[in-house]
Structure 1
Amino acid sequence: MAHLKDKVSSAIIAVGDIERARKFYSETLGLELEEDGMGGVLVYKTGSTRLLVYPSDFAGTNKANAVVFDCGGDIEGIVESLRGKGVTFEHYPDMGLDFENGIHSSGDFKMVWFKDPDGNILHLNSA
Structure 2
Amino acid sequence: MLKDKDSAAIVAVTDMNRARQFYETTLGLPLVSGDENVMQFETGSTALVVYRSDYAGSNKANAVVWGVGAEIETIVADLKAKGVVFEHYKDMDLQGDVHIAGDFKMVWFKDPDGNILHLNNM
Of residues 89, 94, 110, the one that matches 1:92 is 89
**Does the residue aligned with 2:21 lie in a helix, a strand or coil?**
helix
- What CA distance in whole angstroms lies between the structure 1 residues aligned with 2:7 and 2:102? 31
Please identify runs of 4+ aligned residues in structure 1 that moved more than 6 A: none
- Fraction of identical pairs, as percent: 60
- For 2:99, what is the secondary structure of its paired residue? strand
- Tell me how far apart the structure 1 counterparts of residues 96 and 33 of structure 2 sit (CA, whole Å): 34
Unmatched 5+ stretches in structure 1:
none
Partner residue, 2:27: 29
1:9 — aligned with what? 7
Report the 3-state secondary structure (helix = DSSP H, G, I; strand = E; otherwise coil) of the residue aligned with 1:63.
coil
* Match status 1:126 vs 2:94: no
Q: 2:109 matched to 1:110?
A: no
Match of 2:49 among 47, 52, 63: 52
Name 1:43's counterpart in structure 2: 40
Give the Cα–Cα distance (whole angstroms) in 1 for the partners of residues 96 and 115 of structure 2. 21
Structure 2 residue 60 is the aligned partner of structure 1 residue 63:
yes
Unmatched 5+ residue regions in structure 2? none
Give the superposition deviation at 1:7: 1.1
Q: Name the amino acid aligned to 2:111.
A: D
Cα separation, 2, equivalents of 1:53 and 1:29: 13
Measured on the aligned residues, the alpha-carbon RMSD in Å equals: 0.9
Aligned residue-pair number: 122
Deviation by residue 1:75-120 (Cα, 9 ceiling, x = unmatched): 0000000000000000011xx3210221101122100000000000
The C-alpha deviation readout for 1:32-70, integer Å capped at 9, x for no partner, is: 111114x52110111111000000000000000000000
104-113 or 77-86, larger mean C-alpha shift: 104-113
Q: Give the Cα–Cα distance (whole angstroms) in 2 for the partners of residues 8 and 106 of structure 1.
A: 30
Distance 1:36 1:68 in 2: 22
Q: TM-score, normalised by structure 2?
A: 0.96
